Amino acid sequence: MDELKKRKTPRYQSFDYNSVGVYFITICTQNRRCILSRVVGTGVLDCPQIELTQYGEIADKYIKQLNDFYEHLSVEKYVIMPNHIHLLLWVKENKNKTDNGQSRTPVPTNIERANSVCSQFVSTFKRFCNKEYGENIWQARFNDHIIRNRDDYEEHVKYIYENPIRWYYDELYTEEWGYGLSPNPL
């Protein structure tokens, strides 16, 4: 039997992913299926807008609910694209910290981050959505980036804001899901 390939991780090995800060998160649909939204508008004379499908409306609902549910977290900005979601998640405080400032949750290894605040948020979000969808539509993993400073934060806010404009250039762009209309997938 072939050996299983070890996946490389972009994680900082010594970084505590429960730390207070802002994280840029990308959650993709399984097989990058375009089922969350459509990008409407050409961008020539009008600014492209996101038109959510029923899947996208459910995702939007749970992003907002989880934002209100967690006192120590805040979704600062987000965009629901046809096949992925970008969001800026602000961890305001670590609910897993002890009185001496140490995290009660072990620092994730370079392979896993199961106990991180971001991972818990994404896992809960996916679980709630999938329950309402009646199926799993998400890739197993998600991507995150630690926001390092004010310039990095502003760059990612701009990226979220401009993502619908760049959709036309995405390798998975199709006329059905970008700048046009198509039937609702649900």
- Spatial separation of the C-alpha atoms in residues 161 and 11, rounded to whole Å: 25
Backbone angles phi, psi at 161, to 5 degrees: -60, -40
Q: Select from 57, 60, 58, 51 the least CA-distant residue to 78.
A: 60
Report the distance separating Cα 159 and Cα 134, nearest Å: 31
Structural element, H or E, at residue 119: helix 117-133
- What pLDDT is attached to residue 180? 42
pLDDT of residue 68: 83
Q: Would you put residue 55 in left (φ > 0), alpha (ψ -120 to 50) or beta?
A: alpha
The candidate with the shortest Cα–Cα distance to 148, out of 24, 39, 6, is: 24
List the chain pLDDT tens, one digit each, 186 residues.
455 555 555 555 555 666 789 999 999 999 999 999 998 876 666 778 899 999 999 999 999 998 888 888 899 999 999 999 999 999 987 655 444 444 443 343 433 445 688 888 999 999 999 999 999 999 999 999 999 999 999 999 999 999 988 887 665 555 555 544 344 444
- Quote the pLDDT of residue 150: 96
Beta bridge partners of 143: 26
For residue 159, give Cα distances in angstroms to 54, 81, 112, 133: 25, 12, 27, 28
CA distance 116 to 136: 22
Residue pair 135/55 in contact by the 8 Å Cβ criterion: no
CATH number belonging to domain 21-169: 3.30.70.1290
